[in-house]
Each structure stands twice: as C-alpha cells, then as structure tokens.
Amino acid sequence: MVPELLCCRYVAVGNEPFLAAYNGKFIKVTLPALENIQNALNDAGVGDRIKATVPLNADVYNSPAKNPVPSAGRFRNEISGVMTDIVKFLAKNKAPFTVNIYPFLSLYLNDNFPLDFAFFDGKSATPVNDNGVIYTNVFEANFDTLVAALVAIGHGDMPIIVGEVGWPTDGDRRAKASYAQRFYDGLLKRLASNRGTPARPSQRLEVYLFGLVDEDQKSVQPGSFERHWGIFRYDGQPKFAMDLSGQGRNTTLVPAKGVRYLSRTWCALNPKASRNDLGKLLGAKIDYACTNADCTPLGYGSTCNGMDVKGNASYAFNAYYQAQSQKDEACDFQGLALPTETDPSTAACNFTIQIATSTAAPPLGMAALAAALVVALLQLLLWW
C-alpha cells in the first residue's frame, strides 16, 4: 500500500547530471532513472498529478559564439541526443522541464560579464538585441535560450520550471549580501508582475529560491560561495531585507527566536606564542583548522578577507573551536591558541558562536531554528 501523497507535485531525479565537469558520467543512466521513477508514480496511481523531472544546469544549452542570442539556443552537441529523448519522455508524461538558472555564475565564470546585466533593475546594463527583441537581464535571456532549444526539437510549448535561482552572500568578491538583496528585490518584483519572458509572454514563471540556510559542510569544488546561498544565516537570522510580495517594501523574513548559543567564548591566537612556534607551526595548524571547519569567509573578496596573519589565524582557530562545540582541547593548537571572552569580530567579519547542540535530546536552540525555518517556508509557500 502506497501512502497518500498530498504535498508533492514533482519528484526530482538527480540534480544537474549533465554538468560539463562530470565528463558524461551520468549520460547513460539519467533517462532510465527518470523512466523508472515516473513509471513507479504511475503504478502507484499518482502519476497524473505527481511528475518526475530532472533538474538540469543551464549549461545543457547554449547559443553559438557566432550568433550569441537567445533565439539561437540549442542543446549542447554532445548531449543533444539524450536531451531530446528526455524531453520526449517528459512531454509524453506531461511533466515539466526543470532548469537551474544562476545569474551569479555568469559573473563568476566570466570577468568580462557586465555586472548590471545579472540583475533586474536595468541600471546601466547594455541590452541584448535579438532580432528586435530586447533583453535587459541574463535571467530572461537564459530562460529564452532554453525555449529556443526546446523549439528546435519540436517541443516549444513544454512547461518550464526554474528549480533553483539565488545569489550567495560570501565566498567570492561578488558574493555579498548587498548584491543578493538587489538580486532578490528585482526577481521578486519581476515575479509579482506575472509577466512571462519575451519568448513566452503569457506564461507566468514558476520559480523556486535556493536556498534557505547556509551549508557550512557543502563541497566547495565549484567555489567557496557554495556554502553561502542561504537567505538565512546558520542561526536562522535573515541576512537582509526581503519582501516576498514583490512590492519592494523594507520588510524582513521572520527570524528564529529563542535560539540558544554556546557560551560567549571564542578561540584566538595566543598573544604569548613564541615567534619560533609561529614560524614552525602556524601554517599547518591553520590548514588543519580549515580542513575541519568552514574558513571560506577568509577567501579573496570574502567578508573576512584582508585581515592580518593574527586575524586569519584567530578566525581559523575559532571556526574549528565552534565546530567542536567549544571543547577545551579544540582551542590549543600546540599552544598557539587560547579561549577568550573578548569578541574578535570586526565590522565586516563575524566570528561565529555555535548553536547549542545535544546528543541526548533536541536542544532549544535547534528546535527554535527549525521552527523559524518552517515559518519561512510557509511564507514562501503562501506567496508562491
């Protein structure tokens, strides 16, 4: 007996399996997996309302260098066959095409990409003229490149869902809260207008934000920004004003309340450490701390970049100390570090204190955080 499914509309089969970085690893298995999941939904009697789909990165399609406009969009040559088969299967089952679009990545991957074209406010972006159709932001241009790719294989009317869109707030020089706020403000106003894109003017966009909270253990192989997509900090506090109604009001999401932190104690570089020990040990100890904790805010262009050696060491030691729940032995590093009750944070760089945790029972701090995130999800659901 399959339990009644009341909350779901889609089942995601994998995530971005055809990234160029995977070198074709998942080309042969993705369509069979999609078919198996959809067939299972059909057999369970829910396939008419719950659809299997594959969230794909926007790099599965592109426009040729000689004609870089949305209407010239096509699926990448090396995956055009499997993409055509996947689209046919989706169409057969009346399932949507799901794509993840990240304007931030256009900036990250191309130093010459025009900054303002990544946003929706059109402050000084040079528009793209596609045979008289004007694009003022990369989101719409990217979306319509996909539309053109679908048209080219005979499925120009397929529903499209934007499964992920967002902007990180740390880990890169363009991953910062002010840009994230600008991006979301423009995106939410754009969605509130209920307009489609130039290629699909009458279709209301279905978009899902990524993500809710930062992930301090996420892989940083694509970039240090990967751990900072959240609209909330690690402790459930909103990072910036955000009006989900799209009216541009100076409002914030509901913050977590009653979160319990560990004691106001940090770990910092021992001011009495000998110069000899610093010379011999400091580099290796910082490496160890950052291998076992999140030091991405120290990277170039990040919120904690630009501190001196003392500041960098203290940040690394404290990150490890907090990750280890402030255990005494976690703030020693062969005499290079000491606990302190003086907050070493700066105006730009926050030295965090961990949320209280317990292996015996759900602690107040985590319960409050979970409750706040549920409230935020409800806000999102009510708006969408």
366-384 pLDDT, tens per residue?
555 555 555 555 455 444 4
Regarding whether 193 and 70 lie in a shared domain, the answer is yes
> pLDDT per residue over 257-273, tens digit each?
999 999 999 999 999 99
Q: Domain range for residue 285?
A: 266-340
Number of structural domains, the chain?
2
Judged against a pLDDT cut of 60, whether residue 363 lies above it is answered with: no
Q: Which of 98, 104, 376, 118 is nearest to 232 (CA)?
A: 376
Residue 273 domain-assigned (yes or no): yes
Minimum mean pLDDT range among 10-24, 76-90, 360-374: 360-374
Residue 354 domain-assigned (yes or no): no
Residue 248 domain-assigned (yes or no): no
> pLDDT per residue over 306-349, tens digit each?
999 999 999 999 999 999 999 999 999 999 999 999 999 999 99
Regarding whether 189 and 292 lie in a shared domain, the answer is no
Residue 280 domain-assigned (yes or no): yes
Q: Catalytic residue positions?
A: 16, 164
Q: Which two tokens stand for residue 174?
A: 């363009």
Regarding whether 300 and 185 lie in a shared domain, the answer is no
The β-bridge partners of 97 are: 160
